[in-house]
Amino acid sequence: MHSIADMGGMQGFGPVVRNDDEPLFKAEWEETTFAVNLLLLAAGCFNIDESRHSMERMAPLEYLKTSYFEHWLHSLEDLLIAKGIVTREEYDARLAQLAVKGSDL
C-alpha cells in the first residue's frame, strides 16, 4: 500500500522551514499525547509498529492537514478503540463530559 506517510522522494512540499527557538512541545496537549503514547506502549496496549501503521493508514488529506502530534492522537484513538481497550461509546461519553466542564482543563 502506498501511504501518504511514505514521503521520501515526493515533490512539491517547498523549502524546509526551521525555527531553532521553538519549544519541544507547543502546547500542553502535545506533551500529554506524547507521554500517554509512550506509557501505553510500555503497558503493552499496542506496539510501535501498530502505532506507525495506524498513522500510515490515515486518509491522505487528513494526514497533510493535521500536525505531527495530531497524527499520534489519531493513532491512540484508532488503536485503543480497535483493540477494545476503550469502547467508542465510553470515549464519546468522556469527550462530552469533558466538553461541558471544558474550562477545568
Q: Residues interacting with other proteins, by CB under 8 A?
A: 3, 5-11, 13-20, 22, 24-25, 27-36, 38-41, 43, 45, 48-49, 52, 55-56, 64, 68-71, 73, 76-77, 80, 85-86, 90-91, 94-95, 98-99, 102-103, 105
Nearest distance, CB of residue 62 and other proteins, angstroms: 13
Nearer residue to other proteins within complex by CB, 82 or 85: 85
> In angstroms, what is the minimal distance from the CB of 20 to other proteins?
7
The distance of closest approach from Cβ of residue 59 to other proteins in the complex, given in angstroms and rounded to an integer, is 16
- Measure Cα distances from 11 to 7, 55, 63, 103 in Å: 9, 21, 16, 43
| CA atoms of 19 and 93, how far apart (whole Å) | 39
Can you tell me the distance from the alpha carbon of 89 to that of 66, in angstroms, rounded to the nearest whole number? 24
